[in-house]
Amino acid sequence: MIDEIIDRVRGVYGSWRRDTPVAKMRADWDALFSSCPLAATVEPAGAGGVDAVWLTAEHSAADRVVLYFHGGGYKLGSTRSHRDLMTRISAAARCRVLGVDYRLAPEHIFPAPVEDALAAYEWLLSRGIAAPHIALAGDSAGGGLAAALLLCLRKRQRPMPAAAVMLSAWTDLTAQSESYETRAALDPIHQRGMILGTARTYLGAHGDPENPMASPLFGDLRGLPPLLLQVGGRETVLDDSTRFAQKARAAGVDVQLEIYDDMIHVFQQFAGDLPEGGRAIESIGRFLRDAWGKSA
């Protein structure tokens, strides 16, 4: 099944050319991941001026919320492409999920997504949802955005959420890690050149890839809440997770790192087809329920 999924993803990526409009790429991306067999209530929200969507699976607690940031290299992705994944997290963690449609590059470059993430979090607080009842989550670029938001909250001395979940997180926009070499032949999609090009689009002409708000790996990680990091063993961005986990632990953060050996980038999006994806989401649910139980 993993080979069929890789072929499906390659088919979409392979159809794009240098002159493919970004609107077409976004539509293709949404279609690739948009199926959602699970029942959920879907409700649009204006989260502090940022477009967002509430997703609520059955038996979800109204006062427990995951603030979710989708992946897509800060250029693609939406709450439509990630609806299935967010709904599965809602069901596993028995909570509501607020998915954020933060602004995308190249129309809106760094730090626009960080600003939108902060606005959505502050909006939740203003709605009476206590910080210990909130968790952050995100995949790929969204995982890096979740980490950047944590750094932003600590800098501003704002209340921290109970926990954060980072899936195949992109935490280093310099793409310097060894896994870009050791996993190059195993990763079917993401290679260093592609990653660096995506980073340039997000940062703009004068952006610094070592700015911790863009690359949280370079930040001071002290004082962060408990973290769950999941990553596939075939990913070129493997070290973005392993190095982040190592640095966070050294800073005194409670970190769980789960490496799924044969899996690809954000394999949790294929939980309907991959048993490993289902097990990963079950682990997310347990982690979040435990974090909220400790913070309640």
pLDDT tens-place string over residues 198-231 = 999 999 999 999 999 999 999 999 999 999 999 9
Separation CA 98–CA 55 (nearest Å) = 6
Convert 64-86 to b/e letters by CB count within 10 Å (16 or more is b). bbbbbbbbbbbbbbbbbbbbbbb
Peptide bond into 21 cis (omega under 30): no
Separation CA 8–CA 249 (nearest Å) = 37
Domains of the chain: 2-16+32-295 (3.40.50.1820)
Q: What SS3 state is found at 132?
A: helix
Task: Choose among 91, 99, 95, 96: nearest CA to 38.
Answer: 91
Separation CA 284–CA 167 (nearest Å) = 10
Crossing angle between the packed helical segments 275-295 and 83-93, to the nearest 10 degrees: 50
Whether pTM > 0.85 for this model: the answer is yes
Averages of pLDDT over each 10 residues, the chain, 296 residues: 92 94 96 82 96 96 97 97 96 98 98 98 98 98 99 98 98 97 94 96 96 98 98 98 98 98 96 96 98 75
Separation CA 43–CA 113 (nearest Å) = 22
pLDDT of the residue at 7 = 93
List the alpha helices (DSSP H) in 81-183. Answer: 83-93, 112-126, 141-155, 179-182
| Residues 163-212: tens digit of each pLDDT | 999 999 999 999 999 999 999 999 988 999 999 999 999 999 999 999 99
Separation CA 257–CA 244 (nearest Å) = 10
Phi-psi region of 223 (alpha: psi -120 to 50; beta: other; left: phi over 0): left
Task: Choose among 107, 143, 118: nearest CA to 49.
Answer: 118
203 contact partners, CB below 8 Å, separation of at least 6: 109, 110, 173, 209, 214
pLDDT of the residue at 38 = 80
268: DSSP letter: G
191: DSSP letter: -
Percent of the chain past pLDDT 90, that is, above it, reads 96
**Residues forming beta bridges with residue 166, ordered by sequence position:** 138, 229
- Residues labelled catalytic: 140, 235, 265
pLDDT of the residue at 295 = 52
